[in-house]
Amino acid sequence: MATRNAMVAGNWKMNGSLELVKQMSDAINNVEFQKMDIVLFPPFPLISAMIASGVATGTQTVSENTPGAFTGEVDAQLVKDLGAQYVLVGHSERRSIYNESNATVANKFARAQEVGLTPILCIGESESEQENGQTEHVVAAQIDAVIKKLGVAALKDSVIAYEPVWAIGTGKTATPEQAQAVHKFIRDKIASLDSDLAQGLTILYGGSVNEKNSELLFAQTDIDGGLIGGASLKADSFTAICNSAKGTV
């Protein structure tokens, strides 16, 4: 079986400050984490400061387009040139608030890889879709959009983050068993196309993860770490979550 490093990623959303960059980077850089990747996703104006702090940095989105007349958008190549390494694509807030379709997300995924950024593909179902038993159908379609555009091999240089929409920022969290079941479905789906790739693919769980529930979530066979929201704005909470991901895989 392929070895997968644990990963904990913090999505700051539209929060943060230069002071928080310092607090978080000091906390992360002063703790030794074994065999794991820690990435923070601050708002665009804080990216350079985060990169300079020595913490692996990603952006919360990029444009699917190459440079041009797209006011307010940010080019993936520019982000890469600054020193960022990752980008979130398809976060549920981008899908729901900004109407990003599966096709748009696939285009952003492609653009990220084109310039050498590692995309973290966010997938997940709404509460109504979950209640109607559509979870597997929804997440499969979100993954298939990328596979249709780029082929399954493109997933090798990526990360997948399963975030049930009903658990993001709501305080609701999938039970470890619920989360594991979906993660296994995702890995099995990809394994049906490329088993080696699937075994080496890092799949994260997100959705109201905190220092109290992270250890049980990360102990599941197919959960390789977490995409953290609110708790990534608190140094003590975030480092505690990182500690609980040690030895995940």
- Tokens of residue 247, six digits: 């030895």
193 vs 101: CA distance, rounded Å: 24
- Residue 77 CA, distance from chain mean position: 19
Kindly provide the b/e burial profile for residues 41-65, where b requires at least 16 CB atoms within 10 angstroms of the residue's own CB. Answer: bbeeebbebbbebebbbbbbbbbbe
d(CA 22, CA 107): 34
Give the residues across from 175 on adjacent strands.
none
Burial class (CB in 10 A: 0-12, 13-18, 19+), 229: buried
State how far the Cα of 185 lies from the Cα of 241, in Å rounded to an integer: 25
Residue 235, pLDDT above cutoff 90 = yes
Q: Which tokens hold the place of 178?
A: 């619920």
- Are the CB atoms for 90 and 108 separated by under 8 Å? yes
41 phi and psi, to 5 degrees?
-120, 85
51: Cβ–Cβ under 8 A, 6 or more apart, which residues? 57, 82, 83, 84
The overall average pLDDT reported for the chain is: 93
Locate 231 and state its tokens.
């708790």
- d(C-alpha 23, C-alpha 68), whole Å: 36
Task: Identify the pLDDT of residue 34.
Answer: 67
Give residue-wise pLDDT tens across range 45-96.
999 999 999 999 999 999 999 999 999 999 999 999 999 999 999 999 999 9
Record the pTM. Answer: 0.95
Q: What is the CATH number of domain 6-244?
A: 3.20.20.70
User: For residue 172, what are its two tokens?
Assistant: 């609701």
Residue 41 and residue 11 in contact, taking contact as beta carbons nearer than 8 Å: yes
Cα–Cα distance, 25 to 215 (Å, whole number): 22
> pLDDT tens, 102-153?
999 999 999 999 999 999 999 999 988 988 989 999 999 999 999 999 999 9
Nearest alpha-carbon partner for 122 in 238, 226, 208: 226
- Average pLDDT, stretch 212-218? 93
Residue type, 123: I
Q: Which residue is it, tokens 């692996």?
A: 56
Q: Per DSSP, what are the bridge partners of residue 121?
A: 89, 160
- Catalytic positions are 91, 163
Could you tell me the pLDDT band of residue 237, with boundaries at 50, 70 and 90? very high
pLDDT at position 1 is 45
